[in-house]
Structure 1
Amino acid sequence: MIFSNLICKSKTKAQGKRERRKEARPGELLDAALDLFVEKGFAATRAEEVAKRAGVSKGTLFLYFSSKEELFKAVVRENISVRFTEWSKEMDEFQGSAADLLRFCMTSWWERLGATKASGISKLMMSESGNFPELAVFYQQEVIEPGNRLIARVLQRGVDSGEFAPMDMQYGVYVILAPMMFLAMWKHSLGACCDANAQLVPEDYLAVQVETILKGMCMRLPSISPTPPIT
């Protein structure tokens, strides 16, 4: 009887482990896929490698994701797209100036996304999107457009309050994106192999960039034209 109870308990524990393992599989697959996509790129990553790193069979991977493209989309949604609702809410509730909001946005971008492995997706898309137009369209709709809208909201807030000078909003957004994209590219290329003397401190880099940008955008008194010489 005791032996029988031990067998039953052992089976119950084993079943519980299998059930937890099954529930965890989508998350494990997404983590493994993110690692490989960032390490090797989209084209060079094979479904078999993702499954192996996640500790499951290739067939199990395709139970959850119908193709490598769908797996990639799920990785983007899980690691990047999910941030936009959170950031939008924080913008709505932010009480400081537009300049402070811009500082907050660039800093929080680095802390929550830029400093993570997920920022390598930006490098992947810049290098491979031409070969995968469907993924490029997806990334444009899922990441670039929502991100640009958030940045435009920050800039428009400053313009409406009189804190920032009027600007072409489309190109104003690119001014903010440029240092962020440079930092993401650097992290996943030269930053991973440079010696200590060539390294940069991301937080310090962003602080200098945002202050330089603000000096260019903030309203200033119009310059006084020189008085023409009397002839």
Structure 2
Amino acid sequence: MTSQPRWRRRKEARPGDIVAAGLGVFAEKGFAGARMEEIARRAGVSKGTLYLYFETKEDVFRAVVREVVVPNVDAVRAAILTADLPFPALIRTFLPRLAEIIINVPIGAVAKMVVGESRNFPELAKVWHDDVVQKAVGVISELIARAQARGEVRPGNPRIHAFSIVGPMMLGAIWRETFTPIGGADPDLPTIARQHAETVLGGLLTEEARP
């Protein structure tokens, strides 16, 4: 008799159920095509219950980004900022980990939706930029600046270098959502991550930092 009543456990789980349902609906139908009724149905709640937790579709999207995507980004960010490793080791660790997240978390589906619908729904782009893109680019820029200070990386704008590092990975993520479903070759993100890491290091490392 120590467990909580079934209805109470279910009530506490509802926001998570709604977020998971919202992610699925957004990934399949985009933002404009998503309906609150469909999100409620997939979450197993009434539309009235859905509105108790989220007033708008935008609120559901914010929750999807902040509860599904952001924790993964934050975990990687914390790990690489605290790791006491040379820059080459960090890049060889970070890019495969990013590939793993893209495969297991539908980052590509959300990114594709944001790119496709941001003109009509600029709030989507702002949420994605502030909570995901800024953090990812920011942490890589910081790593590069530190490596430059240690003499490991050649001079250059750290932010621009960061874009060159994450760009191919995000292209691969969007490719998986756009072309792979219609028969395009799968981009094999883990292989891209490993090969791109070596390409990046070949261009960025100073002579002194090369093995």
User: TM-score when scaled to structure 1?
Assistant: 0.83
| Deviations, residues 20-43 of structure 1 (Å, cap 9, x unaligned) | 221111111100100111111111
Q: Do the aligned partners of residues 110 and 149 (structure 1) sit closer, same or farther apart at CA in structure 2, a change above 3 Å counting?
A: same
Instruction: Tell me, in whole angstroms, the C-alpha distance in 2 between the residues paired with 1:186 and 1:107.
Output: 17
The structure 1 residue matched to 2:153, chosen from 164, 169, 174, is: 164
Deviation at 1:146, TM superposition (A): 1.4
Which of 75, 87, 110 is equivalent to 2:99?
110
Could you give the per-residue CA deviations for residues 63-90 of structure 1, whole angstroms, max 9, x where no partner exists?
0011110110011000122234322321
Residues 14-163 of structure 1: pairs in structure 2 closer than 5 A: 16-163=5-152
Distance 1:184 1:112 in 2: 10
Deviation at 1:58, TM superposition (A): 0.8
Question: 1:37·1:45 contact (CA, 8 Å) conserved in 2?
Answer: yes
Q: Aligned partner of 1:36: which letter?
A: V
CA distance in 2, matches of 1:130, 1:159: 37
Q: State the identity as a percent.
A: 34
1:200 matched to which residue of 2? 187
CA–CA distance in 1 between the matches of 2:50 and 2:56? Answer: 9
2:174 matched to 1:212?
Answer: no
For structure 2, the 5+ residue unaligned runs are: none
1:42 counterpart SS class: helix
Mapped partners of 2:107, 2:171: distance in 1: 15
Amino acid at match of 1:41: G
Distance 1:38 1:151 in 2: 27
Contact 2:18 2:40 in 1 (8 A): yes
Change (3 A) 1:200 1:145: closer
Q: Deviations over 1:81-118 (max 9, x none)?
A: 22343223212331221111012111112223443224
Equivalent pair of 2:138/2:159 in contact (CA under 8 Å): no
Task: Give the Å deviation of 1:208.
Answer: 0.9
Distance 1:85 1:133 in 2: 24
Q: 1:113 to 1:199 in 2, by over 3 A?
A: closer
Please give the per-residue CA displacement for 1:147-191, whole angstroms capped at 9, x wherever unaligned: 111110121122112111011222111101211111111121112
One-letter code aligned to 1:201: D
State the alpha-carbon separation in 1 of the partners of residues 186 and 134 from structure 2: 31
> Could you say which structure has the larger radius of gyration?
1
Query: How much has 1:220 moved relative to structure 2?
Result: 3.5
TM-score normalised according to structure 2 size: 0.90
Aligned to 1:228: none
- Size of the alignment, in residue pairs? 207
Note the aligned Cα RMSD (angstroms).
2.0
